[in-house]
Amino acid sequence: MREDLKLIPNHLCVTCHLSEILIQVDKEYNLTANYPKGHGDDFHDWLCRYHPLLRRLPTVRVCGGNRQDSDFEGSLPVYDSLDEMLAFTNECLKCSDNALQHCLFITLSSMEVIAQLRVASILFLSVIVPMHWLAGNTHKLAHRNWGERYMGCAIDLLHSAFVKIQSDGALLLDYDFIMKIFCPLYSDLPEFEGYISYYFENKEGNIVGSVQFKDRVLSIDKAMEELFWPPEICNLETSVCCKEFGRSNSHPSY
C-alpha cells in the first residue's frame, strides 16, 4: 500500500476533510480580510466583470474550535459558488503556479468532494438551521408549554428520520422528506414554523457588485434549487455518491 501511494503525484495528494477545504477556500476566495497569498480581491473583480448581478452567499470563516456545525454551514456557500470558483482558478493557473490554487482546483473538481459539500449543505439546512432556532429560543416558549426537556421530541424526530435514511440513502435528496423532519412541531410552535418559512422562502442575500436593499435576491431559496434539483451536470452526477454518503453516515448512534 505504501509503495502504491508513492506512485501518486504530489499535486494530487490533497485533503478531503471539509474543515481543511473550507479553510483553504476562505484563504483564496474570501472577499474580506484577505489572506496574503490568496486572491479574494481578484476574485471579486473577476465576478464583477463576468458575473454581475449573480447571487453570492458569503464565505464562512472556519478557524477550528469546537463548532462542529461550522463545516456544514461553510459548505453551502462553496457548493453554490463552485462553478465560479473553478472558472476563476482555471484562468489564474494558466499564468501562475500558485500552490493554494492548484490544490483547490483539484480538490473542488473531485466528484467525491462535491458530493460531500452537497450532503453537508443539505444537512445544514434540514437539521442545523432548525436545531439552532430551537436551541436558541426554547427559553422563550414557555407560553407554548415548551421547555428544555421537550427538546427530546426534536431529537426523536431526527433519530426516526436518520433510521430511514440509513435504509434508503435516496431520502437524503428527497426534498419532501429531509426538509420536513420537524413538521410535526409546527402546530405546537407557530413561531418555529414562521422562522423556517422565512429562512427557506424569503431570506434574501446580496448579489455580486451591489449591497443595495433593492438588489437583494432570494439567495437561500435559489441555493436550495441547486441542491435538490441541480441543473449543472457536475452536481447532478454526484447524486449516486450523495445517496451512499447518506446511507453510510446516518447511523442513529451518531
Q: Indicate the domain borders of the chain.
A: 2-248
Q: Write b or e for each residue in 180-202: b if 16 or more Cβ atoms lie within 10 A of its Cβ, otherwise e.
A: ebbeebeeebeebeebbeeebee
Mean pLDDT of 69-73: 87
Radius of gyration of the chain (CA): 20
- The 10 Å Cβ neighbour count of residue 230 is 18
Tens-digit pLDDT profile for residues 24-67: 999 999 887 678 888 999 999 999 999 998 998 988 887 765 67
Give the separation between CA 60 and CA 71, rounded to whole angstroms. 9
Grid cell at residue 79: 457548493
Phi, then psi, of 52 in degrees rounded to 5: -65, 150
SS3 content of the chain, % helix, strand, coil (to 5): 65, 0, 30
When pLDDT is averaged across residues 146-171 and rounded to a whole number, the result is: 94
Interior angle at CA 56, CA 27 and CA 95, nearest 5: 50
Of 250 and 151, the structure prediction assigns the larger pLDDT to 151
Contact criterion met (CB below 8 Å) for 182 and 196: yes
pTM above 0.75, yes or no: yes
